[in-house]
Amino acid sequence: MKFSYLFLSMASLFLSGCISVCEIEIKRQSVKYIKRADIGSFIGADVNLPLESKWANGDFIVLEFFSNENLVEFVRKHGVNLFVDMSFCDQPEKEVILGATDVYFNGKSIIDLKLSGDYPKESSEDNRYEIVIFLIWDKDRKLPESSSKVDGGIYYLKFDLDKQPKDICLSLKGGNPAKTVRSNQLKLTQTEIETVIREFK
């Protein structure tokens, strides 16, 4: 009797969406150095957003990957958001703006593609996606939640990957009030960053 009650309770929670985690598998494809003048071909109209056009300095690194899911169809079907979570692997606790938070496909964010409906509906390994990483962040931008701190506030970590490359850990995260979405973690190493910069120059 206790087992039946527990089973029914757990089933009820699952069906109601209280317990729901969606796993997405992503796999690296390539790493590219992109000049600031050319980044519009990867992020489209988002090139005019303040984060990309005013706050970030220097050029960009674009990490191309593919997924076991059609990500645009995935966010539409499940009614979830999806964003890029990035940190320096040796400082995961530090707040740092390492790149654009959106995932891109053919020059548009997957959220914009979901809203427009103009995207391939089938799942395919040919559906490759891009993550945009900044080379330099040298702004003294205060964390929004720290504005009232007595010590003057906490600031986003500054970095210059051109002069001091570091390992970067990346994953996709998102969800809605009833569902959590997460992917496996990818790692862009210091050596890979040094190599892609050296080959470009």
pLDDT (tens digit, 9 = 90+) per residue, 175-189? 888 889 999 999 999
State residue 152's pLDDT score.
57
Could you give phi then psi for residue 19, rounded to 5 degrees?
-120, 100
Q: Which of 41-50, 77-86, 164-173, 177-186 has the highest mean pLDDT?
A: 164-173
Per-residue CA distances from 180 to 17, 52, 102 (Å): 10, 28, 17
pLDDT (tens digit, 9 = 90+) per residue, 101-131? 999 998 899 989 988 887 776 655 567 899 9
Per-residue CA distances from 95 to 92, 158, 172, 201 (Å): 8, 10, 17, 30
How many helices (H) and strands (E) in the chain?
6, 11
User: Can you give the residue ranges of every domain in the chain?
Assistant: 20-200
Per-residue CA distances from 162 to 6, 152, 153, 197, 200 (Å): 56, 29, 28, 7, 12
Q: Is 153 left (phi over 0), alpha (psi -120 to 50) or beta?
A: left
Could you give phi then psi for residue 173, rounded to 5 degrees?
-140, 160
Q: Quick check: pTM over 0.75?
A: yes
